[in-house]
Amino acid sequence: MNAQTKIEAETILGALAIALPKLEAAKKNSNNPHFKSTYADLKAVIAAIYPIAEYGLWYRQVSHEVP
């Protein structure tokens, strides 16, 4: 990462602007027999977004309402 990229990556939006173009779509690796379709399971989605960690970003999934 060069100096300019590092400065831009110091903000969340700057980091997203740098990281998002480098991401690829999640691979559809699971089958839904009810709709006769395929989808990307959670493991595939996490693998697809993993490169954002290089820019100090990550995700959070909450399975319940946060007060």
Mapped onto helix, strand or coil, the DSSP state of residue 59 is coil
pLDDT of residue 2 exceeding 70: no
| Backbone phi, psi, residue 66, to 5° | -90, 130
For 27-58, what is each residue's pLDDT tens digit?
999 999 999 999 999 999 999 999 999 988 88
pLDDT of residue 7 exceeding 60: no
Q: What percent of the chain has pLDDT over 70?
A: 84
Predicted local distance difference test score (pLDDT) of residue 12? 83
- Cβ neighbour number for residue 9 with a 10 Å cutoff: 19
Half-sphere exposure at residue 3, Cβ-oriented, CA atoms within 13 angstroms: 0
